[in-house]
Amino acid sequence: MNLPNRYIDLHVHTNYSDGTFSPEEVVRYAQEVELTAIAITDHDCVDGILPAMEEAKDRGLEIIPGLELAAEIDDFEIHLIGLLLDWQDPWLKDQLNKIRNARTERMQKMVEKLNDLGIGIKMEQVMALSREKGAVGRLHLARALLEGGHISNIRQAFSRFIGRNGPCYEKRMIISPQEAIEMIRRVKGIPIFAHPGNMRHDEVIPDLIKYGLMGIEVLHTDHNASASNHYKQLAQNYGLLMSGGSDCHGAGKGYPLMGKVEVQYSILDTMREAQKKEYGE
């Protein structure tokens, strides 16, 4: 299956988390840009995987089950992607339900803080931009602020109100990197350190490896050539798998990103071989 010019995207969001494309729209767009496989990696949610698989059935597009988890170390956050996991595992779904419920409670607190500043946002407006079974996040709140005319662009929502140092920021449910990696590994997934160039905390990689990290996102929309080369070298030095993806959120971050990052299918082949070696057939 390792053929030239077969490109994939191992980091894609749908509107089951903070993307604007439905799973069906994600699949159709991926086909338009001639991708061979995509991973659905919604935040704290696997509900978008099945509709994407159903839409992709007759389109020659492979859907890789995944998810993205946020973890916290000291006072900063890192993101971990789980790929090729057993997404239908009941234990996993129960854990993700707990995280999503905490997300909703967090969002209610941020809405209340905005209201205290005189900004008339209702929880119903925010939830309308999310899916009933999906994971509500700050990007949904930012979009609600934009639609309400309270800001002029999405970035302004974070810089003025809901960024980590903003007056309306509320901490999320905290899980440790060890807990996130163990969650992914319990369902036989490949834990990947997501967009490390954005995180800027390479010093945590040795500890993540101790917890069971298996890969690092070398190719990403926000990684320039220098960053990609840096993380490729780190992957080789640490014996980690390489991954890559666009981190597409539909139009949620301005415009669709699928097709912008060239990730060879051979990366997925290597990942599958590693999964077999780690967990057995």
At 110-127, the pLDDT tens digits run 999 999 999 999 998 898
First to last CA, the chain: 19
**Average pLDDT, integer, range 190-201:** 94
Number of domains in the chain: 1
Between the CA of residue 168 and those of 137, 157, 268, 280, what are the distances in Å? Answer: 14, 10, 40, 47
The pTM is what? Answer: 0.86
- Quick one: pLDDT band at residue 100, thresholds 50, 70, 90? confident
Decide if 41 is inside a domain: yes
As a whole number, mean pLDDT of residues 130-139 equals 74
User: Residue 110 falls within a domain, yes or no?
Assistant: no
Beta bridge partners of 74: none
Per the structure, the complete domain to which residue 237 belongs is given by 7-95+174-279
Q: What is the pLDDT of residues 7-40, one digit of tens each?
A: 999 999 999 988 889 999 999 999 999 999 999 9
- 256 domain-assigned: yes
Indicate whether 107 belongs to any domain.
no
Domain-embedded: residue 17: yes
CATH number of the structural domain spanning residue 244: 3.20.20.140
Residue 151 falls inside a structural domain? no
Strand order in the sheet with 263-264: 241-245, 215-220, 190-193, 76-83, 62-73, 37-40, 7-12, 263-264
Q: Mean pLDDT, to the nearest integer, of 143-172?
A: 92
Residues above pLDDT 90, as percent of the chain: 76
Is residue 146, in this structure, part of any structural domain at all? no
pLDDT of the residue at 3: 44
DSSP symbol at 46: -
CA distance 240 to 215: 5
Inside any domain, residue 169: no
